Amino acid sequence: MLEQLRQVTQAVSFADGQQQKLDVIVAEICRALDVEVCSVYIADYQLHQFVLMATRGLNPESVGQVKLGFNEGLVGLIGQREEPIHVQQASQHPAYRHIPEIREDEFNAFLGVPIIHQRKVLGVLVIQQKAPRQFELDEETFLITLAAQLSTILSSSEINEWFEQPPNEYFARIVRGVPASAGVAIGKARVLFPLENIHSIPDRQTDDIEGELTKLGAAVKATHRQLEKMSRRMQGRVSEQELALFDAYQQILGSKGLAVEVEEVIRKGFWAATALRKVVQKHLNAFKLMQDPYLRERANDIEDLANRVLAQLLSSPHGRQKIEPGTIVVAENITAAMLADLPANDIVGIVSLKGSSTSHAAILAKALGVPAIMGLEACPITRMDSKQLIVDGYNGQLFVSPNQTLVNQYQVLLDEERQFAQELSQDQHLPNATRDGMKVNLMINSSLGTDSSRARQTGADGIGLYRTEIPFMQLDQFPSEDVQACIYRDLLQEFEGLPVTIRTLDIGGDKQLSYFPIEEENPFLGWRGVRVTLDHPEIFLVQLRAIFKASEGCEGFKLALPMVTTLEELNESYRLINQAFDEVEEELAAIGKRVTKPQVGLILEVPATLFQLKSFAKRVDFISVGTNDLIQYLMAVDRNNLRVKNLYSHFQPAILRVLKQIAHECEHAQIPLQICGEMAADPLASLLLVGMGYNELSMNIGSLAKVKRAISRFELSEMQQLVAEIEAFETEAKVRDHLLKTMEKRGLGGLVRAGN
Ligand code: PEP
Ligand code: MG
C-alpha cells in the first residue's frame, strides 16, 4: 500500500501542469485500486461549484463541462461535510443527482473523499464500480491518504497554472506567505538554487545561444570522461552486468541521445541548465508512468546522469549568474548563512519558501532593512527567475509579474514609506521616552556589522544584543582568537561610550556552521547555545578570551549567555568566564594594560528558567528575555514551522501573562530587565512591554524609529492601562485587534501597516 501511494504521488508530482497532474491521478488510482472509474472534481470558489476536471471511465467529453453547485449531488455533500461518503448504490442516495452526459448510470458503487489543504476543500476524488458493492476499508483509507498527500501538490499546481498564462491586466498573481521583514520592494527575481539537484534549476532564458551550446558540449564531454574513468575503476570489482550501466549512461548521453534534445531546447532561447532540466523531466515523466518496475527504476539512472552533467555545467565560471542591483532573491530555503554571503546592497527584497518571521534569515533581513516574505509553501520558484516581483513584507504577499496598475500602486506605497521614514527621522533628536518623559532604553540587535553612525543617528541607546554566531557563519572554519578579537574590537570601538551586550556563540537550531554541522531530529530541542559551548570549552574559551582582549580599554560592555536551562550550566559558564578572564587579565597586565570584568546576563528563553527565576536572578547581573525562543517553547511551536504559524504569536494571552510575571519577579528581585526578541520591534507590542515594566527594548535597527514614535505618544499610565485592558481578552485575535484600534485612534496606524 505504501509503495502504491509513493508511486502515485511521485507520478503526479512529476507531471507538468495542472491538467496533466489530474489525468495522472485518475489513471494511477484506477491502476492502483483496480477500479473502473476514477474522477476528480475541482472546487471553483468564484462560482461556488465543483467542476469535473479529469476522469477515467466516465465520458471524457464531459470534462470541464459538468458542474455541480457546492450544495449539489454526492460531490457537493462531500465538500460540505468535509468527510468521505461511501454508498453501494449511488443512485439511491437522497443527495444523488443524475447527470446524463457523464454516463455513469451503470456504475453503482461510489466512494468519494474530499481533497483538503489548510482547512480549504480543493476538490473531491471519486471512485466508482459497476457492481453494487462495499469498497474495502483499506481502499477507503488509501483514497483518504492519497487525497491528503495530493492536496499539497494540487494547491501548488494551482499557482503553477498562473505562470502558464500571459500577464493579465485584471488578474494579479498573488502568492501568500508570512510577513518576515516589513516593507515593500519592487524588483527582478533571481532564483538561488542548490547546485546538485536538477529539479531545482529555474527557468532562465538567454540571448547567448551559441555560448550555451558550447557550455553544454563541454559539460557532456566532461561527463563522458568521468563515466569512462568510473567504469575503468570499477572493472574487476563489479560484475559485467553492473559495468554495463556505464555503457548505458554513455549511450543515453551519446551523440543521438539526451544532448541532442537539450540542444534543441537551448535553441529556443533557454539557458543550458534549464534546457537540461526540461528534457530530463519529460523523460522522467514517461519512465515513472511505466508499469514495469525495472523500467520505472531507470528513471533514477536518468536523474543521476542529469545531475552529473549539471554539476559540470555549473562548475564553469559562468555557471551561476551574479546578483545585480535591484534584485529580489528567491530560494527554497534562505538561511542566515546564505544571506550573510550575499551582496546586501544589491538586494531589495527576499522571498523564501521556507522560514517564518522569527527564523534567523528573517532576523537578518530585518537587520539589513530588506523587506522579506517567507513560508510560501506552494510556489513554483523554478518559474520565477527574471520575473518582476512585488514583495509586500507587511502583509506577506508576493505578486508575480504584476500588471502596471499594481506596480504603480506599490510605487506609491514605497514613496510613502520613504517619506514616512523621513518624517520619523525628525524624532531622532528627541529622547527615547514615554510621552510623560519616562526614559526607555531603545537598543539595537546587531550581527552583520551594524553601521554605527546610522545607529547613533536613529538615537539608539546602545547594542542590546550582538549575535556572535553570524560572523562565524560567514567563515569556513572556526575563527581564531585574533580574528574574533578584531571583530569584537571593531564593534566595541564603533559603539564606544554606549553599552554593548555581546552574546556568546548561539549555534544549533536553524543556525548552522558549514564547518561544524549539527544533524539532529529536533534541532530546536537539541544542542544549542551554551549546551554546545559548554561541551566544547576549547571553542568557548577562545571566544571568551577574544571578547575580553577586545574589551581592553572599553567600559560598559556586557556578556549574555544563550539557552541556559539549569543553574549548573550557569555555574559552569561562570567557571569558564572566570578562567578566560583571569588568563587575559594576567596577559594584559604583563604589558601594562587592564581589562574590566563585564556584567553577565541570562538570555531568558527556556521556560524551565521561569520556575527558578529567583535563583538565577541572584547569580546574574541582568536578564534579557529572548521571546523568539521563549514563545516557541511555551507554545510548543517550532518557530520555523508554517503549519503551526498561527499559534506562534507574542499576543497569545498565555505569553503576555508570562511576560508580565517575569517583569514582576525581576522588579521584586531588583534585577535589570531587557527584552531582545523580535517582539520588542513591534510598535504594538512595545506599548504593552513598557506598560508591564520593561524599560529596555532591543530590536533591529529598522524598527527603532517606529517603536520610538509609538512609545513617545503614550503616557506610562496609558500603557499600564492597556496592559490591564488586554488581560480581559482570552484570544490572540482580540488582543491584537484592541491594540490596532488603540494605535489607529492615536493616528499611528502607519506604524504597523503600509501607506498613509
Ligand atoms: C530569542 O530567542 O529571542 C533571541 C533573541 O535569540 P535568537 O533569535 O537568536 O534565538
Ligand atoms: Mg534565542
Q: Is 629 in the pocket of ligand 1 (CB under 6 A)?
A: yes
Question: In angstroms, what is the span from residue 552 Cα to ligand 2's centroid?
Answer: 28
Angle at 385 between CA 381 and CA 389, to 5 degrees: 85
Give pLDDT tens digits for 531-564.
Answer: 999 999 999 999 999 999 999 988 889 999 999 9
Catalytic residue status for 676 = yes
Report how far Cα 557 is from the mean position of its chain's Cα atoms: 34
H or E stretch covering 50: strand 49-56
In this predicted structure, the answer to whether residue 317 has a pLDDT above a threshold of 60 is no
Give pLDDT tens digits for 675-727.
Answer: 999 999 999 999 999 999 999 999 988 899 999 999 999 999 999 999 999 99
Instruction: Specify which residues 56 forms β-bridges with.
Output: 38
Residue 73 falls in which region: left (phi positive, over 0), alpha (psi -120 to 50) or beta: left
For ligand 1, pick from 467, 531, 532, 696 the residue to mutate: most ligand atoms within 8 Å of CB: 467
**Atom of ligand 1 at shortest distance to CA of 465?**
5
Supply the residue whose CA is at minimum distance from atom 7 of ligand 1: 628
**Atom of ligand 1 at shortest distance to CA of 624?**
5
Look up residue 291 and give its DSSP letter: S
Q: Which ligand is nearest to the CA of 468?
A: 1
Q: What is the pLDDT of residue 162?
A: 47
Look up residue 167 and give its DSSP letter: P
Supply the residue whose CA is at minimum distance from atom 4 of ligand 1: 626
pLDDT confidence tier of residue 171, bands split at 50, 70 and 90: very low
User: What is the grid cell recorded at 17?
Assistant: 501542469
Catalytic residue status for 224 = no
pLDDT confidence tier of residue 449, bands split at 50, 70 and 90: low
Of residues 71 and 4, the one with the higher pLDDT is 71
pLDDT confidence tier of residue 743, bands split at 50, 70 and 90: very high
The average pLDDT across 732-756 equals 89
Side-chain-side CA neighbours of residue 441 (13 Å): 20
Q: Is 626 in the pocket of ligand 1 (CB under 6 A)?
A: yes
Give pLDDT tens digits for 122-136.
Answer: 899 999 999 877 888
Q: Is 627 in the pocket of ligand 1 (CB under 6 A)?
A: yes
Q: Identify which of 378, 402, 401 has the alpha carbon closest to the alpha carbon of residue 177.
A: 378
Q: What is the pLDDT of residue 169?
A: 42
User: What is the grid cell recorded at 504?
Assistant: 556568546
Supply the residue whose CA is at minimum distance from atom 8 of ligand 1: 628
pLDDT confidence tier of residue 732, bands split at 50, 70 and 90: very high
Q: Where are the alpha helices (DSSP H) in 15-99?
A: 17-33, 73-81
Q: What is the pLDDT of residue 755?
A: 65
Residue 17 falls in which region: left (phi positive, over 0), alpha (psi -120 to 50) or beta: left
* DSSP secondary structure of 79-134: HHHTS-EEESSGGGSTT----GGG--TT--EEEEEEEEETTEEEEEEEEEESS--P
Give pLDDT tens digits for 461-493.
Answer: 999 999 999 889 888 899 999 999 999 999 999
H or E stretch covering 43: strand 37-44
Of residues 249 and 84, the one with the higher pLDDT is 84
Indicate which residue of 38, 117, 360, 554 is catalytic.
Answer: 360
Would you call 440 helix, strand, or coil by DSSP? Answer: coil
Beta strands in 383-488 (DSSP E): 388-392, 397-400, 441-446, 463-467
| Percent of the chain whose predicted confidence (pLDDT) is above 90 | 53
The average pLDDT across 361-385 equals 84
Q: What is the pLDDT of residue 336?
A: 77
What order of strands is seen across the sheet that includes strand 49-56?
67-69, 49-56, 37-44, 120-129, 109-117, 85-87
Average pLDDT for the chain: 88
Of residues 572 and 304, the one with the higher pLDDT is 572
CA gap 38, 43 in Å, rounded: 17
Q: What is the pLDDT of residue 408?
A: 92
Give pLDDT tens digits for 64-120.
Answer: 899 999 999 999 999 999 999 999 999 999 999 999 999 999 999 999 999 998 788
The average pLDDT across 660-668 equals 97
| Percent of the chain whose predicted confidence (pLDDT) is above 70 | 92
Report how far Cα 284 is from the mean position of its chain's Cα atoms: 29
The average pLDDT across 338-363 equals 85
Residues 6+ apart with CB under 8 A from 215: 272, 313, 316, 318
Q: What is the pLDDT of residue 291?
A: 60
The answer to whether the CB of 689 falls within 8 A of the CB of 679 is yes
pLDDT confidence tier of residue 170, bands split at 50, 70 and 90: very low
Of residues 387 and 503, the one with the higher pLDDT is 503
Q: What is the pLDDT of residue 296?
A: 64
CB atoms closer than 10 angstroms to residue 104: 23
Supply the residue whose CA is at minimum distance from atom 1 of ligand 1: 626
Q: Is 204 in the pocket of ligand 1 (CB under 6 A)?
A: no
The average pLDDT across 637-658 equals 92
CA gap 146, 78 in Å, rounded: 16
Residues 6+ apart with CB under 8 A from 473: 336, 337, 340, 511, 512, 513, 514
The average pLDDT across 721-750 equals 95
Of residues 609 and 295, the one with the higher pLDDT is 609
Question: CA–CA distance from 650 to each of 393, 628, 632, 639, 704 (Å)?
Answer: 18, 9, 10, 12, 18
User: What is the grid cell recorded at 557?
Assistant: 560592555
The average pLDDT across 270-288 equals 83
User: What is the grid cell recorded at 659?
Assistant: 511576560
Supply the residue whose CA is at minimum distance from atom 3 of ligand 1: 626
Q: Is 359 in the pocket of ligand 1 (CB under 6 A)?
A: no
CA gap 511, 280 in Å, rounded: 34
The answer to whether the CB of 355 falls within 8 A of the CB of 333 is yes
Would you call 417 helix, strand, or coil by DSSP? Answer: helix
**Atom of ligand 1 at shortest distance to CA of 509?**
10
Q: Which of 155-159, 224-228, 693-697 has the lowest mean pLDDT?
A: 155-159
In this predicted structure, the answer to whether residue 151 has a pLDDT above a threshold of 90 is no
The average pLDDT across 185-200 equals 86
Q: What is the pLDDT of residue 756?
A: 61
Give pLDDT tens digits for 197-219.
Answer: 788 888 888 899 999 999 988 88
